[in-house]
Amino acid sequence: QVQLLESGGGLVQAGGSLRLSCLFSGRAFTMYAVGWFRQAPGNERDFVAAINWNGGSKEYADSVKGRFTVSRDNTRNTVDLQMDSLKPGDTALYYCAADWQGDGTTWFPHKEAEYDFWGLGTQVTVSS
């Protein structure tokens, strides 16, 4: 059974940085793409960033391009999200999710329904 655990959230001032980490527990980590999503109060959950199984392909939401960087370490079963130049609008509960790539199907990183497993989230609050 796959489990995901997010960490690294917190309170930061606008312009600051945070680094979120997603720890994957289970088998075949390298067969999964991993995405980051976020949900602010009263809003739907939105795509933030994603990385494919070997880190060779990355996708970002337009709102975070140039500020956030996603990376993975397949020796440690982790996927990190480095968040720089944070804005109050980045305040949300951040989730990581794993998408099984073992069947060779086309990768749709932005589509929430594609993801098979989800963590419980870590809160990021950016003060102005």
* 116-125 tens-digit pLDDT: 999 999 999 9
Residue 10 near residue 18, CB atoms below 8 Å? yes
Torsion angles phi and psi, residue 56, rounded to 5: -80, -15
Summarised one tens digit per residue, pLDDT across range 49-90 is 999 999 999 999 999 999 999 999 999 999 999 999 999 999
Rounded CA-CA distance 44/64 in Å is 17
What are residue 81's DSSP bridge partners?
Answer: 20, 70
Give the Å distances, CA to CA, from 81 to 58, 61, 73, 103, 106. Answer: 12, 13, 12, 26, 23
- C-beta separation of 99 from 83 below 8 A: no
